[in-house]
Structure 1
Amino acid sequence: MDLSIILMIIGILLIIVSFFVKNSSKKVEQDLEELSISIFQETNNLKRRLKIVEEELLLEPEFQVKSPSAQNNAVPDPKVQQVMHAVQQAAQTSKAGQTALKAKPIHQIIISQVLELNKQGLSVADISLRSNLTEEQVRQVIANGGQ
């Protein structure tokens, strides 16, 4: 036989075999997509939890984490130390965020929200908590009437 006929038969056989072999790349793509979705969901959950912690820290400005060794002279768990350290860092960043809020201009949507809450009769402290502005900024917005 001729070499070209042998190569042609091998090529046709390989094409036929390729129809019966399952494509594993689709499974890999599906696994990758599921992994990315789960990572996205975990990230969103962590962001939501961090936001809740930040809001709690904003409500309690004098919040201090006391070490367990000072309370009962026991050796603290390393995980507890890590959590305490993370909470202290979050408190510091929230204080830094509050000072950064003073420097930023106030968005028009927040201004209208502050004015609407004031019309509803809420106190300056309540408006401050709901709008993430300082009480001084809330008073300025109300005094200026949104200007």
Structure 2
Amino acid sequence: MSATGSSDDPWVLKTPPGTSEYTMHRDDTAEPAELVCRVGSTKLRYLARCLDDVPAMLKAHGDWMELGSADEGKPAKDGTLEAWARSADNPVGGWYGLRNGYRGRFAMYIPPLLELLGLVELEHNPRNNRIRVP
């Protein structure tokens, strides 16, 4: 990993199927800290605490979990990472996504960063990818 994850040196990532490239950096000046994801000209923001919360949840889950990525306006499939990332039962009591209208797609953009940081294993199939802790 050569990038530092700062705004000047963001991580360059690919979606789980490997079809699209995007960048992400950590913004510790925000309160609370955020992960800023740039996909083309679109900017998405997620709570940075997900880097701790997702592996902890997956460890408790104990097995592979389907990603189930979905846009904010579409329902997330039950039992998926995307559903957990918007559930009132997660550690933040709702959405990890912060930008209204763009809070979805958590399960598309966060797992590759978790994998890069060595926190999870991630499948890279054309569809229906899953995630687990190593």
Give the TM-score normalised by the residue count of structure 1: 0.21
More helix by share: 1
The structure that has the greater radius of gyration is: 1
Identify which of structures 1 and 2 has the higher relative contact order when contacts are C-alpha pairs closer than 8 Å and 6+ apart: 2
More strand by share: 2
